[in-house]
Amino acid sequence: MEILWAKLEDKLNHQTLTITTAVTTNAMEAINDKMDPIIQENEKLKNQITKLEQKLDQMEIDERKKNLVFFGVDEKVPEKRKQEQIGSPNSPTHKRSNPNKTRISSATNTKNAIKPNLLNYVARGRSSSLYELPKND
């Protein structure tokens, strides 16, 4: 009788092990099937985040470039240069109005020094509007 119980116990253990492995593999396959689209979407979102971070970095660099105005350096956009030269003493109208003035760089054969104006557009607008304020009498 003990031999019969031992064989029965062995069969039950073997059957339990078989069922456990089958259930585990089926559950893992179902989880993997559901995870594949999530992993693909995660990769797409990571790529999109890196692209947006690169755009943000480029926009910050471009914004910093716009904070400095270099006079005497040709710019790529002619309309912007015309707008900045309206109030500049080096504008073509000022140069034409004083024909007796000679250029220092042409006499010494050196290039003009670049003098950056460190005021941004908002500060330039504020400083120019201060001159236009009415005086209190």
Burial of 92 (0-12, 13-18, 19+ CB in 10 A): exposed
| Percentage of the chain exceeding pLDDT 90 | 39
> Coil, strand, or helix at residue 127?
helix
pLDDT at 95 over 90: no
Closest CA to 72 of 107, 110, 114, 109: 114
The torsion angle over the Cα atoms of residues 62, 66, 68 and 69, rounded to 10 degrees, is 130
| pTM of the predicted model as reported, rounded to 2 decimal places | 0.36
The domain spans of the chain are 9-65, 69-131
Quickly count: other Cβ atoms within 10 Å of residue 119's Cβ: 15
Q: Mind listing the pLDDT tens digit for each residue in 44-72?
A: 999 999 999 999 999 988 888 776 666 66
- Looking at residues 22-42, what average pLDDT do you find? 96
- Looking at residues 18-42, what average pLDDT do you find? 96
CA distance 125 to 106: 33
**DSSP labels for 54-101?**
HHHHHHHHHHHHTT-EEETS--S-HHHHHHHHSS-TTSHHHHHH-TTP
pLDDT at 82 over 80: no
